Homo-oligomer: A and B are copies of this chain.
Amino acid sequence: MDFRETIAGLVRVWYGIDALGRDEPNMGSRDLATPKGFLFSTAGAAIKKPGRRDLALIYSEKEALMSGMFTTNKVKAAPVRLDMKRIASGKGQAIIVNSGNANACTGRQGEEDALAMTKLVAAALRLKEKSVYVCSTGVIGQPLPMKRIASKIDGLAKSLGASTLDDVAAAIMTTDSFPKVVSRVMKIGKRKGTIAGVCKGAGMICPNMATMLSFLITDINISGRALDRAFRDAVQGSFNRVTVDGDMSTNDTILMMANGLAENDLVDERSRSFSLFSKGLSDVAGALSRLIVKDGEGATKLVEITVKNAVTKADAEKGAYAIANSLLVKTALYGNDANWGRIIAALGYSGITMREERTDIYVGRVKITNKGLSTGSDREAGAALRSKEVSLTVDLHLGTAFAKVLTCDLTEEYVRINAGYRS
């Protein structure tokens, strides 16, 4: 996938359409394309510490269709539990987000606080309470500073439009080292539509930060069923294929809003434009998820792991994750060591169907293992590892299923960040 980071190293990624209507990175402009009818505001409530904006409000002028996916961790933060109830309606109009405190493991008080945040926003914007969603990210197990948060809600409502999507991306950061924004403009029928998104990540559950949040917005007119299907496909192929440290947070949430204000002919599952929309959304989600891995705590490289020709899809995924989560593989990648013994050992203990004597392994295009044996190309493979983006491919030669997973290397810096975070 072609994506670019252009401002301050790694800040934003976006796509535009050229004069002929073809998708291409919109490199000429500093202005990020934003879907019509969405407004943003941000504020500082000193939730963890003063001096930064740690509250963000996303608002659609028209009630939007909504899809959501949530952590499968059994320990779910209060806002996650609330949003999971509300998403059943398939509709919504605003999302209030705070960083600095996850409102997780906070008991009844946490539930009341999550509810109160949505109530305050609903009152300030004259919305039904159920149209408001809430997300929190940050330290686990501490009550939200609700007084400070509550005092900022009216101001957020009044200043809608004063902030950009970039500001929202910055406000939801925790240990992230850069804000993550992606936007894509596409021709849909005779209209121009935009899909944009922000996310925050870092460690999967960073410190005791509860981690992955993403908000996707579009003005494309689409049916609820089609939106939901495209959304689930996009998440499955992107955020659900990413692992930094194998830990899964109590707060992981992805919400998508579609307000239809591009006024294109309705996209439904049978429309020709559905696959276009689906592809566009997958690209945005894919670009966002790559930014999360790139910003993995202490990471020096992005690693795409492919397991192919497995007996089943489940085997391919399990094998790819076993490699991606092996500390020995991750440290070898950091050390630019094409240590295929660790890769094949991870496959061996993953529980998948595999045969050592059929397994081929590649680093980039360099074949390091042929039918389970060394090809002697360790040196070329080591050189291929000296890159910011690396691919590892395992060919099991047993079936036709494949899976890709994105991960990063494991460094001393990861240990330092995570050993020192709370102190």
Give A residues with C-beta under 8 Å from B: 72-76, 102, 104-107, 139-142, 203, 205-208, 210, 245-250, 325-328, 331-332, 334-337, 339-342, 344-349, 354, 356-357, 369, 371-374, 410-412, 414-416, 418-423
Contact = CB atoms under 8 A, between A and B. Distances in A.
Contacts of A326: 246-247
A78 to B, nearest CB: 11
30 contacts: A73-B345, A75-B344, A75-B348, A75-B356, A76-B348, A102-B341, A105-B372, A105-B374, A140-B341, A207-B328, A208-B328, A210-B341, A245-B327, A246-B325, A246-B326, A246-B327, A247-B327, A247-B328, A247-B342, A247-B349, A249-B345, A250-B345, A331-B419, A332-B418, A334-B419, A335-B420, A335-B421, A335-B423, A337-B419, A411-B419
A206 B332 CA distance: 11
A421 B337 CA distance: 9
Contacts of A75: 344-345, 347-348, 354, 356, 372
Copy count, this protein chain: 2
Contacts of A347: 74-75
Contacts of A336: 423
Contacts of A205: 328, 342, 345
A356 B411 CA distance: 32
Nearest to A351: B74
Contact of A335 (B327, B354, B419): B419
Given A205-B345, A341-B140, A356-B105, A245 B73 contact: no
B105 A74 contact: no
A334 B373 contact: no
Contacts of A423: 335-337
Nearest to A410: B415
